[in-house]
Chain A
Amino acid sequence: MYAQMVKSTGKGVKTREEMSEDERAFQDKIDADTKIEPRDWMPEEYRKTLVRQIGQHAHSEIVGQLPEGNWITRAPTLERKMILLAKVQDEAGHGLYLYAAAETLGVSRDEMTEDLLSGKMKYSSIFNYPTLTWADMGAVGWLVDGAAIMNQVPLQRTSYGPYSRAMIRICKEESFHQRQGYDIMMKMAQGSPEQKRMAQDALNRFWYPSLMMFGPSDADSVHSAQSMAWKIKINTNDELRQKFVDQTVPQAEYLGLSIPDPDLKWNAERGHYDFTEPDWQEFFDVIKGNGPCNTERLGDRTRAWEEGRWVREGLMAHANKRAARIAAE
């Protein structure tokens, strides 16, 4: 999940009696699965929560370019290089759609970028982990895009129109990414002993961080309850995490790789796998900025933004000159 721990009102969900007339009409629309559009009335907290959530998601797409970008120049074949380039280009495109969706809520892309760089807005914890071998390109596609899909498929039905439409476009591409990632893992797992070692090592390092992508348990969270009532969150974090584990375990078995969890086992009674929770202390450390790559990732984005200033200003100045010349004619 690219949006972890998004705060909503901080208060519980209002009962119908507590709602104003506008709020009631708004909730009725949501309950009837009518999309909310930018010009429609919406509670201020709905708008703010969405900006946080969509913004966090957009930032994740953008920062998410970096761990994979780290291997574009070292891709082992021309074809792999093209596939990876196309993937990272897709992620930048996802960022673009999502910023555009957030902009319909009255906040500009530049403002959101400044908030990302100042640390005020977050991005998914997963992108603060390093990509150390080529197998990581497989693991990221398979697990990270896989976890993202888990979360994003239900969000295609989210109540906010522009967000829902962005999700529909994005989901199509994400499933490609996951298949391509799995294909890399397959090649590695069936390859030389070193390649197998890379594949297993990648799974070892990315397994728990992938489980963290769904965020800590939110079964009792007031934020989640409100977001679910507004249909900007469709499932609880635990539901999605369980679904992800259930889907991924057989895939790992098929690859001949082992999930780094000695307590993982099928629970026939529940009809699900039992598994070990990730280390949530580590998760909070990463969120606070102490992950293995937080400094590098934010540093890269900050440098790109600062060093790109003259370019943005130059192009803007040129556009203004041209407009002035045309006006003078």
Chain B
Amino acid sequence: MADTIDRTALQQFLLRMGDNTLILGHRVSEWCGHAPVLEEDIALANTALDLIGQTQLWLDYAAEVEGAGRSADDLAFLRDVWDFRNVLLVELPNGDFGQTLMRQFLYDAWASIMLGRLQKSADERVREIAEKAAKENAYHVERSADTVVGLGDGTEESHTRMQAALDYLYPYVGELFESDATDAAMVEAGVAPDPAGLREDYDALVGRVMADATLRLPEKAYVHRGGRSGTMHTEHLGHLLCTMQWLQRAYPGCRW
């Protein structure tokens, strides 16, 4: 990576990528042993596993760029809410299985486009991580889309639940496409695309899947924001961190 790049901006960008996968991976892992069918238990564990694996790569790099001697684990387990840079969408509670899979699809669809663009990044590390993550994501998005379609176009009950999930989650989608100074710096350095530029492809993909699922996209959904900038997370994130970080906080400095 060229030294001319704004390292603070790069680190913020990497945190945004890594915190998304960390928090979503954690949420998905909460399902362990409780899914509606055995195959779903396996698939959810697999998704969580991939996401945590991607987290390791993004946060390793973020820590390296930061250059303060912190590790990926330090970033994951020792930051408080205000330093997290994930979008609000991924920290929302699991709800029922339908809500979990809807959230997964709305994220996977974005990731599939984002990771595709990042494979052309000027930053070699980013390119490598994106390449690996894109392979995993291709499987995730196919599966979450299929499940959204299956449940949307299933029984009356499953349809109603999926529509409710979409209505609840859709106002959190807009944040994925917000651009700020960090993004501008990434575009400038050729590291990452402008998030706003992903919207068209995203709308096309999501529109297609929702049509197959016989679900109606909310019109003019409000946009909840504050996660990727860190200015205002939901109340849910603090509770998630209480669980996730507990051991590291209660017994600091140990090797596990």
Q: A residues touching B (Cβ–Cβ < 8 Å)? A: 62, 65-66, 69, 72-82, 85-86, 88-89, 92-93, 95-96, 99, 109, 134, 184, 187, 191-192, 194-195, 300, 303-305, 307-319, 321
Asked if B30 is an interface residue, CB under 8 A from chain A, the answer is yes
- Residues in chain A near residue B96, CB distance under 8 A: 307
- Determine whether B134 belongs to the interface, using a CB cutoff of 8 Å to chain A: no
- Cα of A257 to Cα of B49 in the assembled complex, Å: 32
**Which of A73, A312, A314 has the largest count of B CB atoms less than 10 A from its CB?**
A314
Shortest Cβ gap from A297 to chain B (Å): 10
CB <8 Å contact, A313 and B157: yes
- Complex: A309 Cα to B155 Cα, angstroms: 11
Whether A95 lies near B38 (C-beta < 8 A) is yes
Q: Which single residue of chain A is at the shortest CB-CB distance from B22?
A: A78
Q: Does the CB pair B37–A311 fall under 8 Å?
A: yes
Q: How far is the CA of A191 from the CA of B251 in the complex (A)?
A: 11
Cα-based distance from A49 to B22 in the complex (angstroms): 45
A303 touches B73 (CB 8 A): no
| Chain A hits for B157, CB < 8 A | 310, 313-314
Can you name the residue of chain A whose Cβ is closest to the Cβ of B76? Answer: A78
> How many A-B pairs fall under 8 Å by CB?
148
Contact B246 A74 (CB under 8 A): yes
A314 with B155: CB separation less than 8 A: yes
In the complex, the chain B residue whose C-beta lies closest to that of A134 is B247
In the bound assembly, the distance between CA atoms of A77 and B244 in angstroms comes to 9
Q: Please, which residue of chain B has its CB at the minimum distance from the CB of A81?
A: B52
B69 at the interface (CB under 8 A from A): no
- Whether A88 and B36, one on each chain, are in contact in the complex, defined by CB atoms closer than 8 angstroms, is no
Which A residues lie within 8 Å of B45 (CB)?
85-86, 88-89, 92
Residues on the B chain within 8 Å of A79, using CB: 56, 73
B77 at the interface (CB under 8 A from A): yes
Whether the Cβ atoms of A313 and B158 lie closer than 8 Å is yes
For the side of the interface on B, what is the size category?
35 or more
Interface stretch, picked from B122-130, B145-153, B171-179, B200-208, is B145-153
**B232-256 residues at the A interface, CB under 8 angstroms:** 243-244, 246-248, 251, 253-256
A78 touches B52 (CB 8 A): yes
The dominant DSSP class at the B interface is: helix
In contact, A310 and B73 (Cβ under 8 angstroms):
no
List which B204-230 residues lie within 8 A (CB) of chain A: none
B35: chain A residues within 8 A (beta carbon) = 304, 308
Which residues of the partner chain B approach A307 to less than 8 Å between Cβ atoms?
Answer: 36, 96-97
B33 close to chain A: CB less than 8 A: yes
In the complex, the chain B residue whose C-beta lies closest to that of A316 is: B154
Contact present for B38 and A73 (CB under 8 Å): no
Say yes or no: A92 contacts B77, CB within 8 Å. no
Bound: A109/B38 CA distance, A? 10
23 intermolecular pairs with C-beta atoms under 8 Å apart: A65-B33, A66-B33, A69-B32, A72-B29, A73-B26, A73-B30, A76-B248, A78-B73, A78-B76, A82-B53, A89-B41, A92-B38, A93-B42, A191-B254, A300-B34, A305-B36, A307-B96, A308-B40, A312-B36, A313-B158, A315-B150, A317-B154, A318-B153
Does B182 make an interface contact (CB < 8 A)? no
Q: How far is the CB of B116 from chain A (nearest CB, A)?
A: 25
